[in-house]
Amino acid sequence: MSIKKDNNGVVLILLLIVVGVTSFIFFLAFARTSLLTFLDLDEQIIAVQSKERLNACIDEVLINLQNDSLFNVSSINMISYDCGVNISGSIAGTTIVTVSTTYKTVERGVEMNLTLEPVVVLSLEEVL
Domain ranges of the chain: 8-126
Model confidence pLDDT, tens digit, residues 9-65:
788 888 899 999 999 999 998 888 888 887 788 888 999 999 999 999 999 999 999
Model confidence pLDDT, tens digit, residues 24-36:
999 998 888 888 8
Instruction: Output the pTM of the full model.
Output: 0.70
Contact 128, 107 (CB under 8 A): yes
Distance of CA 28 to the CA centre of its chain: 27
Counting every residue, how long is the chain?
128
